[in-house]
Chain A
Amino acid sequence: MNGASLVRAVLRGPFTGRARREVAFCVLTLPFGVFIPLAGFFVTVDAGLLLGAGPPWVADGNPSGQAVAAAVGVAALLALLLVMTGAARGLTTACRELAGWLLGERVAAPAPLPGRGLAARLAGGLADGPGWRALAYLLLKLPVMLLELYAVAVFWGAGLANLTYPFWWQSFRNHSPGTQLSAVPVITPFDWLGQGQFTVTTFTGTFAAFAAGAGLVLAAPWVTRAVVAADRRLIRGLLSPGSSARRLADLERTRALAVDDAAARLRRLERDLHDGAQIRLATLAMNLGMAKKKLGDSGAVPDADAARELVDTALRGARDALGELRELARGIHPPVLDNGLPDALASVAASSAIPAQLACRLPDRPAPAIEAIAYFCAAELLANAAKHSAASTIEIDLSERAGRLMLTVADDGRGGADAAAGSGLAGLAERAAVVDGSLTITSPPGGPTRVTVEIPLHA
C-alpha cells in the first residue's frame, strides 16, 4: 500500500459500513458480557446470605472460610445449571448470529443437544462440550466486552463529542466579560478521566478539542476492529461445533458424496449396457434368426443372398458389441492400471489429442482406489483440455509430498476453466473429496491452466 492510498484508507475508515457494523456488534453484544458476572454476583451473594454464611467479603478483614466455600460452591452450581439446561448455548446463539450478520463471521452452529425432555437434557448436558465452551465464551466475553466498550465509548463517543466543541461554544459561552467560567474538559483515550484529560477555556481552544476528536474518530475504526478481532477469535474457537464435530460433518458429507457417486455410476453403467451392448446383441440375435430362416430347414437354400447379407450385418453387430463392451470394461477398471499408475498415465498421455509430457516421481505404489481416482482425474483433465483449452502442449506431473499424491495437469491453452457446480471439474473435486483430497484450479482468462489434485497415498 503506498502513502496516498494509506491516507485514503485512514480518512475513509470511520465512514465504512464495516466500521458501522462493528460498532453495532459491540453495542448489541454488550449485555452478553455483563450477564454471567452479574448473575454470578447476585446468585452468590444471595445464596451466601440465605445460607447464613454472609457475603464472601467483609468490610473489616478476610472472609470466613465458610463464606468462600459457599461462594465457590454456588458459582460452580450456577455454571453447571447454565450448561445442563442449555441456557449457555441459548445465550450464545444470539452472539453467533449477530457475528454472522454484522461481522460476516459465519460459524456453523454445534449439533443440537441430543434428546428431548428435561431429564435427557440434564443427563446429556453435563458432557455437553459445546455447552461448556459456550459458558467459557460468556466468561471470556467480559474482558473483551470491556475493551469493546472502551473502543466504542471513548474512541467513538468521546471522539464525536470532542468534534462538536467549536459548534456550540459560541452559543453557551457568551457570558458578559468578567464572568468566572469553569474550564470544559476534553476526553482523550489516555487515562481518559484523569491526568490524560485536558481542558479548554477559549473558543480557539475548542479547535484543540476538535483536533483531538478528529484523531479519536480516525483511530476509532481501527481500535474497534482490533478488539472485535479478539471477539471473532473467541467466537470461532468457542462457538463453532468443535474440530471433531466439524470433522464428523465433513466425513458425513463426503460419505454421502461417495454413496451418491457409486449409485450414479451404477445407473450410468446400466444405461450404457442397456442402450449399447445389450441392444446390439439383441439386434445381432434377430439378424441371425432372420438369416437362419432364409437358409431354410435343410437342403437347398431358398434365399442365399439375403442370408449372406443378414450374416454380414450380424457379424458387424457382433464386432460393434465387442468394441462397446471393451470400452465399457475399460471405463469400469482400466486393465493397464494393474501395472501401476505410471504405465496407466503413460497410456493416457499417449492417446491424448494434444501432445502430453508425463513426469512420474512416485516412490511407493498408492492404494488401488487412489490409483483409480488419480487415473480417472488425469483422463478427465486431459479430455477437458482437449475439448476446451486449445493448448499446444500438456504437462502431467505425478509426485508425492508428505504422504500425499500430487497430480498436476498443466496446459498452455486459453484458460478460463471453472469448477462451477455441474461441470466435470466439480465432479472431479467431489471424487477427490471422498478420500479427503482436494482439487485446485488456477486458470486465469488467457491461460495457462493448471489443475492440481491432491489425495492421500492410502485412503
Chain B
Amino acid sequence: MRIVIAEDAALFRAGLARLLEDEGHQVCAAVADGTALLAAADEHRPDVVIADIRMPPAYTDEGLRAAIELRRVHPGTAVLVLSQYIETVYAARLLSVSPSGVGYLLKDRVADVDEFTDAVTRVAAGGTALDPEVVRHLLAASRRAGQLDSLTARERDVLALMGEGRSNAGIANALVLTLGTVEKHVASIFAKLGLPASETDNRRVLAVLRYLRS
C-alpha cells in the first residue's frame, strides 16, 4: 500500500515509517502538520493516510480536521488518525463524515505490529478501525442504561470487536473461536438487540455504533 504519514514528533514519525516499510508498504511522504498532509495527499494520492490528531500550529485537532477534509476531497483515500488520547466526540466526528475507510486508534496500538497493520489494511479496504477504548466507553454507557442486559458475556465480547470494525474472521481469530461460533453469536446479538442484519462489515459497524450511541 502507498501511505502518507503526518506526525509532528520526529522520532515517532521515523519509527512509524520504518514499521510500515518493514511490513512491505510504501511510505510516500512523512510530514509534520495538517497543511503539509493535504499537499502530500494531493501529490501522492496514497491508499491510506495516517495522521496524528494534535499537530502544529495550534496543537488542538488539526490532524482530525485535515483527515475529514481529505475524505471530502479524495473519498478514495482511507484515513487512520492516531492520538495519545481517546475522545469519543472525535470518533463521532470522524464517523459522521464518512462511515467507511476511517480509523481512530491510540498511538499505543502501534506497539502490536500485527494488530496495527491489520487495522491499516482494514481501513484501506474501506473498513473501519475503532480503538477498543472508544468501544469500551460506548459499551459502558450502554451497559449503564441496561441495554445490553440480555447479552451473554461472550456476546458482549463479540459486540465490542464488531464495534472496532473487525470481520467475523478477525473476531474468530481474536477470541480463538471457530468462524461458525462467531456467526452464531453475531446472529444472536442482532436478534436480541433488534438490529437489521447487514451483509457488509461496514454497515454492521455503523449499526452497532448507532445502537450503542442511542
Are the C-beta atoms of B114 and A283 separated by less than 8 Å?
Answer: no
Closest residue of chain B to A306 (Cβ to Cβ) is B22
| Contact residues of A between 255 and 295, Cβ < 8 Å to B | 271, 274-275, 278-280, 282-283, 285-290, 292-293
Q: Which residue of A lies closest to B23 (CB)?
A: A293
Q: Which of A274, A288, A289 contacts B84 (CB 8 A)?
A: A274
- Give every chain B residue within 8 A of A317 (Cβ-Cβ): 11
If the complex has contacts A283-B9, A283-B12, are A274 and B113 also in contact, measured as CB distance less than 8 A? no
Task: List chain A residues, Cβ under 8 A from B107.
Answer: 279, 282
Name the distance in Å between A316's Cβ and chain B's nearest Cβ: 10
A285 lies within 8 A of B54 (CB): no
With a CB–CB cut-off of 8 A, which chain B residues contact A287?
Answer: 15
Q: Which residues of A contact B113 (CB under 8 A)?
A: 289-290, 292-293
Nearest chain-A residue to B13 (Cβ)? A283
Would A283 and B11 be within 8 Å (CB), given that A271-B59, A289-B113 are in contact?
yes
Among B12, B54, B84, contact of A286 (Cβ-Cβ < 8 Å) = B12
B contact residues, total (Cβ < 8 Å): 19
CB nearest to B114 among chain A residues: A293
Within 8 A of A (CB), among B19-76: 19, 22, 54, 59
- How close is B10's CB to chain A, nearest CB, in angstroms? 10
Q: A282-B107, A282-B108, A285-B108 are in contact. Are A290 and B9 (CB under 8 A)?
A: no
Question: Could you tell me the distance in whole angstroms from the C-beta of B44 to the nearest C-beta in chain A?
Answer: 23
With contacts A271-B59, A274-B54, A290-B19 taken as known, whether A282 is within 8 angstroms of B12 at the C-beta atoms is yes
Residues of B within 8 A of A278 (CB): 84
For A282, give its contact among B18, B110, B112, B114 (CB under 8 Å): B110
Contacts A271-B59, A290-B18, A290-B22; is A280 near B11 (CB within 8 Å)? yes
Q: Which residues of B contact A288 (CB under 8 A)?
A: 111
The reply to whether the CB of B86 lies closer than 8 angstroms to some CB of chain A is: no
Report chain B residues within 8 Å CB of A275.
9
Residues of A with C-beta under 8 A to B9: 275, 279, 283
In the assembled complex, the Cα of A292 lies from the Cα of B113 at a distance in Å of: 9
A314 nearest CB neighbor, chain B only: B15
User: A280–B22 Cα gap in the complex (Å)?
Assistant: 21
For B84, the chain A residues whose CB sits under 8 A away are 274, 278-279, 282
A293: chain B residues within 8 A (beta carbon): 22, 113-114
User: What separation, in Å, do the CA atoms of A280 and B10 have in the docked complex?
Assistant: 10
Instruction: Assess the A286–B111 pair: CB atoms within 8 A.
Output: yes
Instruction: Report the minimal beta-carbon distance from B167 to chain A, rounded to whole angstroms.
Output: 22
Would you call B16 an interface residue if the criterion is a C-beta within 8 Å of the partner chain's C-beta atoms?
yes
Chain B facing A: main interface SS: helix
Q: How many residues of A contact B (CB 8 A)?
A: 19
Interface centre among B11, B107, B116 (most CB of A within 10 A): B11
- Cβ contacts under 8 Å, B108 to chain A: 282, 285
Chain A interface, >50% SS class: helix
CB closest residue in chain B, given A276? B9
Contacts of B12 in A (CB 8 A): 279, 282-283, 286
Chain B 93-129: CB-based contact to A (< 8 A → 1; otherwise 0): 0000000000000011011111010000000000000
With a cutoff of 8 Å between Cβ atoms, the chain A residues found around residue B19 in the complex are: 286, 289-290
Closest CB in chain B relative to A283 CB, distance in Å: 5
Q: Which B residues touch A292, using CB under 8 A?
A: 113
Q: Which residue of A lies closest to B85 (CB)?
A: A274
Question: Do B114 and A286 have beta carbons less than 8 Å apart?
Answer: no
Distance in angstroms from B100 CB to nearest chain A CB is: 27
B209 to chain A, nearest CB (A): 26
Distance to closest chain A CB from B68 (angstroms): 22
B114 neighbours in A (Cβ, 8 Å)? 293
* A286 B59 Cβ-Cβ under 8 A: no
> Using Cβ atoms and an 8 Å threshold, which residues of chain B touch A271?
59
Tell me the smallest distance from the CB of B184 to a CB of chain A, in Å: 30
Residues of A within 8 A of B111 (CB): 282, 285-286, 288-289
B7 nearest in chain A by CB position: A279
A271, A282, A287, A306 — most chain B CB neighbours (10 Å) = A282
- B11 pairs with A279, CB closer than 8 A: yes
With both beta carbons as reference points, the residue of chain B lying nearest to A292 in the complex is identified as B113
> Residue of A at shortest CB range from B106?
A282
List A contacts of B110 (CB < 8 A): 282, 285-286, 289
In chain B, what residue has the closest Cβ to A317? B11
Whole-angstrom distance between the Cβ of B6 and the nearest chain A Cβ? 14
Q: Closest CB of chain B to A291's CB: distance in Å? A: 10
For residue B18, which residues in chain A have a CB less than 8 angstroms away from its CB? 290
Question: What mask results when residues 415 to 451 of chain A are scored 1 for a CB within 8 Å of chain B, else 0?
Answer: 0000000000000000000000000000000000000
Pick the most buried of A278, A286, A293: most chain B CB atoms within 10 A of its CB: A286
CB neighbours (8 Å) of A283 from chain B are 9, 11-12, 15
Cα–Cα, bound, A306→B111 (Å): 16
Roughly how many angstroms separate A271 CA and B54 CA in the complex, as a whole number?
11
Q: Chain A 371-413, CB within 8 Å of chain B: the 1/0 string?
A: 0000000000000000000000000000000000000000000
B116: A residues at CB distance < 8 A = 289
Q: How many angstroms from the CA of A306 to the CA of B21 in the assembled complex? A: 13
- 19 CB contacts below 8 A, A to B, read A278-B84, A279-B11, A279-B12, A280-B11, A282-B84, A282-B110, A282-B111, A283-B12, A283-B15, A286-B16, A286-B19, A286-B110, A289-B113, A290-B19, A290-B22, A290-B113, A293-B22, A313-B15, A317-B11
Interface residues of chain A, those whose CB is within 8 Å of chain B, are: 271, 274-275, 278-280, 282-283, 285-290, 292-293, 306, 313, 317
The 6 closest A-B CB pairs, nearest first, are A285-B111, A289-B111, A282-B107, A279-B9, A286-B110, A283-B12
Q: Which B residues are within 8 Å of any A CB, using their own CB?
A: 9, 11-12, 15-16, 18-19, 22, 54, 59, 84, 107-108, 110-114, 116
9 more CB-based (< 8 A) A-B contacts, given A282-B107, A282-B110, A286-B15: A279-B12, A280-B11, A282-B108, A283-B12, A289-B19, A289-B112, A290-B22, A293-B113, A313-B15
